[in-house]
Amino acid sequence: MSKTAIFILLAIVLFVGSWTVLSMKSQFPADDQTSGMSEAVVPEGEGVDQLTRSDSGEGGVTVSATYVTDSILAAAPSMPTPQYNPDTEIVFLIAMNTHSGDLLGYDLTELTILTDDAGNELKPIGDWEVVSNGGHHRSGYLRFSRDDDIELSNRAGSLELTVKDIAEIPERRLTWKLPLPNN
């Protein structure tokens, strides 16, 4: 067999092999490194819009947070339920999405603060409770201790969740006007 024939045969084999791999890849949904999900898990259903805040996606990363209530959890039965006591804790489902970069290096328990309109600051308690944990799409629950004097459904003012230092943006502020709906 001549060198030209061998070269043509190898080129055909490489072309067919590449085409086969690419066509097989398009049959499977894209997933993140560890989650198997294409987007960060966020709740859907009645009441979610009034309890969810999102930033404008600076630095190529969008951060959103949903104030978690019993009605939010009931509206999304397929979503994992956080381990918390609604009488003593405030819980937010935080979602981060990007199409570039890696979100796995951000520890939201260290980067997030909850502030009320009186200036009281709360840091998260416990660990980040993972819902989806991919490099481009992450979501999970953050819990904060609820002061015995705070009844969010009967109080005027605001709550502000500040997430610091994500994608070189010093602060992202998500604000909820009080009163919030009852659980």
Q: For 74-98, what is each residue's pLDDT tens digit?
A: 887 787 889 888 888 999 999 999 8
Q: For 89-144, what is each residue's pLDDT tens digit?
A: 999 999 999 877 777 788 899 999 999 888 888 899 989 898 887 666 788 999 99
What are the residues whose beta carbons fall under 8 Å from the beta carbon of 115, sequence distance 6 or more?
Answer: 121, 122, 159, 160, 162
Q: Tell me if residue 2 falls in helix, strand or coil.
A: coil
- Dist CA 180 CA 147 (whole Å): 15
What's the predicted TM-score (pTM) here? 0.71
